[in-house]
Structure 1
């Protein structure tokens, strides 16, 4: 976090997030998680017509990119969206690509 309380994302973190959300299925999973405060992993498996192994792979990528948080409740994994990280990503993209002067050649 910087002095204003905002999360600063490194270039490496920005790339991880971009790669994670570039996959349409993964983005749909993130969207489903973000639509709630928390969601059990087994509900995602029921929601999507892909295997549990594929869901697990996508969740691992989303956790690696810090886009979701996973916690255990007994044997159940409970997932939640890291809204602070998503917001920081959107802010960083806006600063880099949309802000005044962004259309100036470098």
Structure 2
């Protein structure tokens, strides 16, 4: 998990997360990553999504930039972990508008 994400998130963080979640494919990739308690290898994402490796790479970079996932690298291989505390902070901040 990421280190002690505190409320409130900055306006930039909110915008990056909102933008990342607005894309259907990124949302599907995040859903797949969040379904696992272990790191999800990039190869698993490629099997589940009928797009190129470059497209998956682009989407995972956007999710990482938003702070929603962390990338673990071992040589040329990458795996991804959900950053649940960031998504939770985002949801909590959105709930303030209700």
Normalised TM-score (structure 2): 0.89
Give the total of aligned pairs.
93
Cα 1:66–1:44 change in 2 (3 A) is same
Runs ≥4 residues deviating over 6 A:
none
Which one has the largest radius of gyration? 1
With a CA cutoff of 8 Å and minimum separation of 6, indicate the structure with the bigger relative contact order.
2
Normalised TM-score (structure 1): 0.83
Alignment partners' CA distance in 2, 1:6 and 1:72: 22
Cα 1:6–1:44 change in 2 (3 A) is closer
Matching of residue 51 in structure 1 with residue 35 in structure 2: no
Structure 1 unaligned blocks of 5 or more: 99-106
Q: Secondary structure at the match of 2:71?
A: strand
Which residue number in structure 2 is paired with residue 103 of structure 1? none
Which residue number in structure 2 is paired with residue 91 of structure 1? 92
Alignment partners' CA distance in 2, 1:63 and 1:19: 12
RMSD: 1.2
Structure 2 unaligned blocks of 5 or more: none
